[in-house]
Every structure is written in C-alpha cells, then in structure tokens.
Amino acid sequence: MALVGRMAARQWRDNQLILTVEYLKQSANEIDFIRHLRTCRECRMEASLSVERYGGRGLPWFLDLINDVNEDYGDPEYQIDPRFADCPRVQDYRIGSYWDRTTDSKETLRFIDDRLNWAEKIIRQRIVMATQFYKRLNNWNLNGEPPTEPSLPF
C-alpha cells in the first residue's frame, strides 16, 4: 500500500507541477498584455471601445465588467474576495456607453489604466507565490503532507 500511495503522490505532484507551469505562462502572458496595452494606441482604443460597448467582454479578467471581480450582484450575503478589496470600482468612473452616445473616452481610459496598475500588482504577487509553490512541490520527497497554496486557482 505504501508503494501505491507513493505512486499516487508522484502522479499528483507531476500534475500539479504541470498546472503550475501553465499558470505561470498564463500570468506572464497577462503581464505582457498589460505592458503592451499601456503603450499601443490602437489596442488602447480597442479596449476602450470594448469596455464602453460590450462591458469588456473578450478582455482579460481584470477588464471584464460582465463578470467583474468586485461585483456583489445585489446579494447582501456576498463577500468580496479580500485580495480584490482595493480593485478600482466601475461606479467610481463615468464610463460612457456607446449605445446611448454618452461616451467619455478619457474617463474610460483612466479606468483601464487604474485597473491595469491594480491587476499587475496582483498578477506579480501570484507569480511569486506560484514560483515558491513550484519550488516546494518540486523538492517534496513524497512523504508527509503535500505542499499546498490555497490562494492559487488550481
């Protein structure tokens, strides 16, 4: 039974290592997107139009207003994730609407910049945590409790 347990632990560790590497790649891509969006005028315009027209649908999680990270959905029992407590709230900006012709692109761009700055800090913190988790997991000798990181999404 000990051999079976070690085989299962090895399989779990190998799967978690793969998931961690994929998560780090995804996070690095998000950082690259943020850096590009800060400098590319065309992409900024596209992101602004997407936020105004479609609520950010098709943009990364930190600009997707349809599934906003700090939306309480009108439920008084809902608890906002403490990691997202300082997230710039949509209500604090005068984001226009393309559909009723009340666009204010300067305010929308300010919202996007604030969200980019906020998300970059969180993503970089998660990269550090995922890297530390990867190191602990890779050094785990399959005895005892496996290393965990509850704040990572996998």
* CB of 63 closer than 8 Å to CB of 115: yes
pLDDT for the residue 38: 96
With b for 16 or more beta-carbon neighbours within 10 A and e for fewer, the 11-47 pattern comes to eebeebeebbeebbeebeebeebbeebeeeeeebeeb
List pLDDT tens digits, range 71-108.
665 555 556 667 778 889 888 888 877 677 666 688 89
Q: What is the DSSP string of 95-132?
A: ---TTTT---HHHHHHHHHHHHHHHHHHHHHHHHHHHH
List pLDDT tens digits, range 42-68.
999 999 989 988 889 899 999 998 888
d(CA 15, CA 87) in angstroms, rounded, equals: 32
Rounded to an integer, the average pLDDT of 143-152 is 83
Q: What's the CA dihedral at 104, 105, 106, 111 to 10 degrees?
A: 100
